[in-house]
Amino acid sequence: MPTLKTRCSLLVRGIEAFLYFEVGLIRGLTPARESSTKDEQGDLHKPEQDTTGADDSSLRHRAYVGMPEEWDLVAARQVTLLLTAGLRDNHRLVDVGCGSLRTGRMLIPYLEPERYFGIEPNRWLVEEGIEHELGRDLVRMKRPAFRYVDDFSLSEFGVDFDFALAHSVFSHTYPDLALVGFRGIAESLAPEGKLFATFREGRQDSEGSGWLYPEMVPYTWERMNGIIEESGLLARRLDWMHPRQSWFVAAHPNAEDDIDDFSHRLRRPLVPVSRPSSSTC
Ligand SMILES: C[S@@+](CC[C@H](N)C(=O)[O-])C[C@H]1O[C@@H](n2cnc3c(N)ncnc32)[C@H](O)[C@@H]1O
């Protein structure tokens, strides 16, 4: 017969296991799947290095932007963050470095027509994303706008954005290009608009210029935050899921309270939603 002490310790271990696997997985602490191709330097694989779909040219566009086995997981984490932060279908969103529409294939159907904007220097990625992920009917119906540039010139779209997303872009820019990027985003972010972006966190900053790919450019948060502030924006780190990178939110100084509040809300423990007794939905 187990003693009370044994029962308590079993219960504690059960709760710990639940927290590790459920909450840890939700919070991104436990990887969804280990991969033998993952290394410390980077998560990105050029098409010719892709082992999952080596001869399948219909998967090239996935392999270029990251590990193909994480394609969907990383998309889901981006989209759930945006929705948690208040994205609604009438907002205007710019996807900076939209690549092969990993999130575009989910955001374009969700947003109202002419609300999704993407910039991407590699035109082929967007074209293959449309071909293999989104489909031309949705392009006709939702009319997303794309610009194939590498200078972060968002103002050329001629609109202000409620949301900007830059997933795995500032993890490849050295400080000079990162500053160009943040300035371009700041110029077109609405007064209450928010930028959600990732960077590769490291213990030391690195020297260099321009774009590095597929390897990543590590930053200390202090350095990354300094560049964001130089662009005129303010930022807060976010406790949100990512296999290897760290998230932050940035906004104009007048929206500082908003981003402060949002970053604190994400840190609170997950509370079970209480169900109403009604049998209707
Ligand atoms: C790691 S991929 C991420 C793509 C996409 N955000 C995603 O989550 O799948 C980085 C993307 O940034 C694009 N890129 C490279 N230089 C850029 C620049 N100067 N401005 C914007 N995007 C750039 C690359 O072509 C590539 O599509």
33 belongs to a structural domain: no
List the beta strands (DSSP E) in 111-222: 116-119, 145-147, 161-166, 189-201, 218-219
39 belongs to a structural domain: no
163 belongs to a structural domain: yes
CA distance 61 to 128: 6
Q: 5 vs 10, 38, 228, 232, CA distance in Å?
A: 9, 42, 52, 57
Binding site membership of 121 for ligand 1 (Cβ less than 6 Å): yes
pLDDT of residue 279: 61
- 120 Cα to the center of ligand 1, angstroms: 6
272 belongs to a structural domain: no
Binding site membership of 244 for ligand 1 (Cβ less than 6 Å): no
Domain enclosing residue 177, as ranges: 47-266
pLDDT of residue 274: 64
17 belongs to a structural domain: no
Closest-lying ligand 1 atom to the alpha carbon of residue 167? 6
Binding site membership of 154 for ligand 1 (Cβ less than 6 Å): no
217 belongs to a structural domain: yes
Domain count, the chain: 1
User: Minimal CA–CA distance to 169: which of 189, 184, 188?
Assistant: 184
- 99 Cα to the center of ligand 1, angstroms: 5
3-state SS assignment for residue 125:
helix
160 belongs to a structural domain: yes
21 belongs to a structural domain: no
Binding site membership of 211 for ligand 1 (Cβ less than 6 Å): yes
Q: What is the pLDDT along the chain (281 residues), one digit of tens a residue?
A: 555 555 545 544 544 443 333 334 343 333 333 333 333 333 333 344 444 343 577 789 999 999 999 999 999 999 999 999 999 999 999 999 999 999 999 999 999 999 999 999 999 999 999 999 999 999 999 999 999 999 999 999 999 999 999 999 999 999 999 999 999 999 999 999 999 999 999 999 989 999 999 999 999 999 999 999 999 999 999 999 998 999 999 999 999 999 999 999 988 766 665 666 666 66
Binding site membership of 42 for ligand 1 (Cβ less than 6 Å): no
Kindly report the CATH number assigned to the domain that includes residue 230. 3.40.50.150
Residue of 152, 169, 195, 200 to test ligand 1 pocket, by largest number of atoms within 8 Å of CB: 169
